[in-house]
A and B are shown apart, each in its own frame.
Chain A
């Protein structure tokens, strides 16, 4: 029983770190514009699929990963320039709907380019399982966890310690005021989309050896990542990680001890409870509307 519990926890952390990594990508765009980017899952998918295609074309894995991330950053910038920027004055809801449209568009392009088959990326450091007591995990999961932690620290430093990061945050708090103190809102938005796309691509490349990828893989990953982000408090990178890990562990324990059929129900019940008692998420800013 204890052996089983240990494996359930390890599995939960493995899955949770995937959700966390994807969830992180939502924070940047949200912080710059209060918009939830529903094309974030598609950035994840594009990163994985581009890397797989480049690897198949003969590039070594590290180079394929770098080139794929760069390509997706460019896609993110183009998306911002040609879909988001023309609608700069539009409401947050309208912008969110634009991102949903962009997601469908990107999925369609991926289907035309790479077909409907699932593809896989080889694991970075082999697939000999690592034993921890009675439980096992794959080396690739350590990559996911490690990169997640590194990115959280970087994002934290970026927002707290750099002028650009603070300027980005200012755009979300009050766009007009940010403009008045000399922040170029357009440039900040481009930066946010570019970085988010890069984060997404990186996440996609890291998780592809575990979850595989196909043109519609972004839908599920995006949804779970989004759940992780709102549980933790969207916009807070630390929150996305906590939310992701919590979701993963709950799913795993639910499947292990109650029933694998109700695994998702248990996780989503938890999301609902959190939002009911803490509408801004576990680590969200407590926003106060001034009347």
Chain B
């Protein structure tokens, strides 16, 4: 019996030793893998940039170039050794333009992915929905959307880099005053961008001594606006402003020509793309609009500090994806303001990075020269827009 029992015990011991050996084996493999991974990144932990953009859905023409730009530059920065020796890691979610999804993705970015900061929010709706979460969790956010409400009133952790519709409205009115045109007819669509622009135009008009003598609207998918324009023809307007994007402004432009109305026409920065000129054809000649410098990069004076930045972005993007859009440019601005702040802060401490973003001065981006301050979390002034006119199927700076 004792013999048997000994053997049993021995067997048991062998069994246990075998298990230990097995676990040890896997532990070694795991350790080796970890070491290997650490070795690849030179032992530096990655800096995690989170992003939530509208890559699909109706606003995809905004979010798609933004994501491509982020991916392209994160790759470029990592190829040069990252920031202070740390590689960048981009974690991205597509909201499809749904604000409720934006909120849950931002929560996931903060809690699960533990990102160091967030660049994104393609649309104002997405950004505004995400702001309470960002403020609560104290994490820096640089939005790529246009709405002025994002930074007005100033929120501690929220910044933005895209032009606002108020700036576009102000730029148009400035140009009207120069030409002494003060009686204005408005025609706008029924989308969010159109309505917000419409509101800013109405709000700013008195400051520039401008009277709105006609105010018409249309559905963004309508195929004919001659009725509204006929009414405008019946008013004593000296100039027409159409605020919108997509195909509707092109139809308005064509309808004006069809009706033989010769009043000058202003469009918004929403149509600053080659597509608009292609759709409206000859009717687009002479149309004026405020546009980001990216659209007219080649025409800028060589002394313009923005010129090299714009041309470099354009070259890199067009070599990879085709024609640039100003929206992709916003992603460039957002990413590099973030990178600059992390570099100056010497790490990813959230409070330090936030303070450094706020101290951004003289940053030359695609949208303009940024000078942020505790009162101004966007840092662009009206110079960021150029007034352009469409001539011979191309853009011409007219200021």
Contacts of B224 in A (CB 8 A): 11, 14-15, 210-211
Decide yes or no whether B18 CB sits under 8 A from chain A: no
B259 contacts A255, CB within 8 Å? no
- Report the nearest B residue to A263, measured CB to CB: B219
A261 and B234 CA atoms in complex are apart in Å by 18
The A-contacting residues of B in range 274-306, CB under 8 angstroms, are 275, 278-279, 281-282
B258 contacts A138, CB within 8 Å? yes
A136 contacts B227, CB within 8 Å? no
Interface residues on B, range: 20 to 34
A192 and B223 CA atoms in complex are apart in Å by 28
- Report the nearest B residue to A7, measured CB to CB: B230
Query: Smallest distance from the beta carbon of A86 to chain B beta carbons, Å?
Result: 30
- Specify which of B223, B230, B250, B282 is in contact with A8 (CB 8 Å cutoff): B230
A52 and B54 CA atoms in complex are apart in Å by 28
The B-contacting residues of A in range 7-64, CB under 8 angstroms, are 7-8, 10-12, 14-15, 18
Contacts of A18 in B (CB 8 A): 223
Decide yes or no whether A184 CB sits under 8 A from chain B: no
- Specify which of A10, A15, A260 is in contact with B228 (CB 8 Å cutoff): A260
A4 and B282 CA atoms in complex are apart in Å by 25
Query: Smallest distance from the beta carbon of A6 to chain B beta carbons, Å?
Result: 9
Decide yes or no whether A252 CB sits under 8 A from chain B: yes
With A118-B279, A129-B258, A211-B251 known to touch, is A8 a contact of B227 (CB < 8 Å)? yes
- Report the nearest B residue to A251, measured CB to CB: B227
B260 contacts A129, CB within 8 Å? yes
Contacts of A7 in B (CB 8 A): 226-227, 230, 259
Contacts of A12 in B (CB 8 A): 227
- Specify which of B190, B246, B279 is in contact with A120 (CB 8 Å cutoff): B279
Contacts of B251 in A (CB 8 A): 211-212
Contacts of B348 in A (CB 8 A): none
Query: Smallest distance from the beta carbon of A269 to chain B beta carbons, Å?
Result: 15
Decide yes or no whether B363 CB sits under 8 A from chain A: no
Convert B253-283 into 0s and 1s, putting 1 for each residue whose CB lies closer than 8 angstroms to a CB of A. 0100111100000000000000100110110
- Specify which of A116, A136, A261 is in contact with B258 (CB 8 Å cutoff): A136
A15 contacts B223, CB within 8 Å? yes
Query: Smallest distance from the beta carbon of A188 to chain B beta carbons, Å?
Result: 34
Contacts of B360 in A (CB 8 A): none
Among A7, A207, A260, A264, the most chain B Cβ lie within 10 Å of the Cβ of: A260
Query: Smallest distance from the beta carbon of A22 to chain B beta carbons, Å?
Result: 11
- Report the nearest B residue to A261, measured CB to CB: B217
With A118-B246, A252-B227 known to touch, is A4 a contact of B234 (CB < 8 Å)? yes
- Report the nearest B residue to A256, measured CB to CB: B227
Decide yes or no whether B231 CB sits under 8 A from chain A: yes
- Specify which of B216, B234, B247 is in contact with A214 (CB 8 Å cutoff): B247
A34 and B81 CA atoms in complex are apart in Å by 66
A129 and B281 CA atoms in complex are apart in Å by 15
A118 contacts B260, CB within 8 Å? no
The A-contacting residues of B in range 202-233, CB under 8 angstroms, are 216-219, 221, 223-224, 226-228, 230-231
Query: Smallest distance from the beta carbon of A109 to chain B beta carbons, Å?
Result: 15
Decide yes or no whether B25 CB sits under 8 A from chain A: no
Decide yes or no whether A220 CB sits under 8 A from chain B: yes
A12 and B221 CA atoms in complex are apart in Å by 16
B61 contacts A220, CB within 8 Å? no
- Report the nearest B residue to A254, measured CB to CB: B227
A14 and B227 CA atoms in complex are apart in Å by 11
- Specify which of A120, A127, A260 is in contact with B278 (CB 8 Å cutoff): A120
Among B61, B226, B234, B258, the most chain A Cβ lie within 10 Å of the Cβ of: B226
- Specify which of B60, B260, B281 is in contact with A136 (CB 8 Å cutoff): B260
Decide yes or no whether A289 CB sits under 8 A from chain B: no
A212 contacts B258, CB within 8 Å? no
The B-contacting residues of A in range 213-247, CB under 8 angstroms, are 214, 219-220
- Report the nearest A residue to B223, measured CB to CB: A211
A118 and B216 CA atoms in complex are apart in Å by 24
A47 and B50 CA atoms in complex are apart in Å by 42
Among A214, A219, A256, the most chain B Cβ lie within 10 Å of the Cβ of: A256
Contacts of B259 in A (CB 8 A): 7, 129, 136
- Report the nearest A residue to B279, measured CB to CB: A120
A211 and B254 CA atoms in complex are apart in Å by 10
Contacts of A129 in B (CB 8 A): 257-260
- Report the nearest B residue to A220, measured CB to CB: B221
Give me 10 other A-B pairs in contact (C-beta within 8 A), A212-B279, A220-B221 excluded. Answer: A4-B234, A11-B224, A15-B224, A18-B223, A120-B279, A136-B226, A207-B223, A211-B251, A252-B227, A260-B218
- A residues whose Cβ falls under 8 Å from a Cβ of B: 4, 7-8, 10-12, 14-15, 18, 116-120, 127, 129, 136-138, 207, 210-212, 214, 219-220, 252, 255-256, 260-261, 263-264
What are 20 A-B interface contacts by the 8 Å CB criterion? Answer: A4-B234, A7-B226, A7-B259, A8-B230, A117-B275, A118-B247, A118-B250, A118-B279, A119-B279, A127-B257, A136-B259, A137-B258, A210-B223, A212-B250, A252-B227, A256-B227, A260-B218, A260-B227, A260-B228, A261-B217
Q: Sorted from nearest, which 5 A-B pairs have the closest CB atoms?
A: A211-B223, A220-B221, A118-B247, A11-B226, A7-B230
